[in-house]
């Protein structure tokens, strides 16, 4: 089969799935308000994985929700430790941020919940959460958002195709 014909048939999927990602992120941001740029960036990366590579293992519900949950736990714990014991030290903040990413990678691999944007969640929590209430708010925001994105994908999954 001519590769050009295959690509031409996928153009409709390129357009529709990109629009689907756009609308889904818009709805998430509209209802949940904006958190921080880093947390929102993690959602953008999740939207790419879910809507551009829907058949990939990292786009499956276990991985999307599980990966962000691992990021929330790892990043949340590192953020809380820094908040309570960091004394506003830039060096300790860097250590906490680095440990959150390394721990998230390790836990995702061990639990079979690999979802690369989950590391952005961990990093974003440590970098931007300055008080306990922010850790809680950002964690809830990201988990609700990951769930919404996963639900949209689940409903439309039969029509979605891998674009990359």
CA–CA dist 123, 96 (Å, integer): 9
Over residues 59-83, mean pLDDT: 97
Residue 58 contacts residue 115 (beta carbons within 8 Å): yes
Segments making up each domain of the chain, as ranges: 3-159
Digit-coded pLDDT (tens) for 13-33: 889 999 999 999 888 877 766
Helices (H), the chain: 3-32, 37-52, 61-85, 90-111, 117-128, 132-156
Over residues 119-123, mean pLDDT: 95
CA–CA dist 94, 99 (Å, integer): 9
Handedness of CA 145, 163, 38, 73 (dihedral sign): positive
pLDDT at 2: 55
Residue 149 contacts residue 44 (beta carbons within 8 Å): no
pLDDT at 35: 59
- Checking if the pLDDT of 38 tops 70, the result is no
Q: What is the mean pLDDT of the chain?
A: 90
Digit-coded pLDDT (tens) for 122-164: 999 999 888 999 999 899 989 999 999 999 999 999 999 999 8
Residues of the chain with pLDDT > 70, as a percent, come to: 90
């Amino acid at each position: 089969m001519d590769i050009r014909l295959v690509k031409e048939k996928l153009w409709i999927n390129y357009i529709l799935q990109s629009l689907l990602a756009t609308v889904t992120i818009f709805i998430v941001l509209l209802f949940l308000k904006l958190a921080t740029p880093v947390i929102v960036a993690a959602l953008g990366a999740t939207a790419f994985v879910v809507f551009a590579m829907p058949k990939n293992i990292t786009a499956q519900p276990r991985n999307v929700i599980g990966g962000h949950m691992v990021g929330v736990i790892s990043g949340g714990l590192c953020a809380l430790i820094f908040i309570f014991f960091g004394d506003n030290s830039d060096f300790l903040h860097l250590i906490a941020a680095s440990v959150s990413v390394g721990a998230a990678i390790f836990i995702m691999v061990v639990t079979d919940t690999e979802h690369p944007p989950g590391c952005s969640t961990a990093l974003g929590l440590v970098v931007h959460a300055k008080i306990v209430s922010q850790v809680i708010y950002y964690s809830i925001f990201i988990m609700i958002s990951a769930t919404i994105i996963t639900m949209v994908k689940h409903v439309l999954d039969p029509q979605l195709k891998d674009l990359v």
